[in-house]
Amino acid sequence: MTQTDTRTPLVELSGVSKHYGTVRALEGVSLQVHAGEITCVLGDNGAGKSTLIKMIAGLHRHDDGVLRVEGEETTLSSPREALDRGIATVYQDLAVVGLMPVWRNFFLGSEPTRGTGPFKRMDVDLMRRTTHAELLRMGIDLRDVDQPIGTLSGGERQCVAIARAVHFGAKVLVLDEPTAALGVKQSGVVLKYVAAARDQGLGVVLITHNPHHAYLVGDRFVLLKRGTMVGHHTRDEITLDELTRQMAGGSELDDLRHELEKSTP
């Protein structure tokens, strides 16, 4: 058993299932999220990735199996409870207000204040300084935090969301397809900051359908198909070619290739 395996995971799912009436969204899924590691969850549309995110984020309760947070068996009843336990989720459609400045979005819902009574007001200077410093600590050199966040690229907005989660004490960072709508260059920028979050000791869950992006940063890989787990590998157990093959369908693609070859005149 490796040293990593002996540590208590920050989040662990063991045989977790979720059903909506007669619809099986997830069945018997297991994964571990360790501090300083990135666990990649791969699957096509309908594989169960969204359901998995919602369970870890506290939006949906699991029906069967066990969910543990830092070794304690638990059921997360709300996103607030998940956040209080150190689990921050960054969704693909980032919850930002496009016309507000970067610093305001960074502290949205958690604004520090100064003064008391009728003289109580937001500490704007502190928020500006903190936002710039925290972004810089993650390696994001954003000169003007007063610019509307809507003027940033998709990759830059993802990076601001990652830095925000780190600043507010997240231990586990769940990222929902952060590179799905981005080009090659912007995807690289986001993956760089995903790796930076890992290097700061966070446990990261990266949801993606892109095996190349996953293999660039991943330490563990969980493959989902139609709600079931069809693969679970550590980085030293699988190559990119094999990960891509399993993600793309593996034997099903081989069968299709043979069928196409037979039908070719």
In the predicted model, residues of the chain with pLDDT beneath 70 are 1-5, 249-265
Under 8 Å between Cβ of 192 and 213 = no
Label the pairing between strands 72-73 and 228-234. Answer: unpaired
Cα 126 to Cα 235: distance, rounded to the nearest angstrom: 42
Query: CA-CA distance, 178 to 197, in Å (whole number)?
Result: 14
Task: Write out pLDDT tens, residues 87-115.
Answer: 999 987 777 788 999 999 999 888 889 88
d(CA 203, CA 185) in angstroms, rounded, equals: 24
Residue 183: per-residue pLDDT: 84
- Helices 154-167, 184-199: crossing angle, 10 deg rounding: 10
What pLDDT, on a 0 to 100 scale, did the predictor assign at position 259?
A: 64
Task: Return d(Cα 168, Cα 171) in angstroms, integer.
Answer: 10
Tell me the whole-structure pTM to 2 decimals.
0.85
Contact assessment for residue 42 and residue 92, using Cβ atoms and an 8 Å cutoff: no
| List of residues 6+ apart from 46 with CB closer than 8 A | 226
Take residue 171 and report the two structure tokens written for it.
């231990």
Domain boundaries along the sequence of the chain: 7-99+170-263
Tokens of 88: 């921050």
Question: Which CATH fold topology does 7-99+170-263 show?
Answer: Rossmann fold (3.40.50)
Query: What is the distance between the alpha carbons of residues 256 and 265, in angstroms, rounded to a whole number?
Result: 16
pLDDT of residue 118: 84
Q: Tens of pLDDT along 219-258?
A: 999 999 988 998 899 999 999 999 988 887 655 555 655 6
- Residue 265: the pLDDT is 58
pLDDT of res. 251: 57
Question: What's residue 3's pLDDT?
Answer: 45
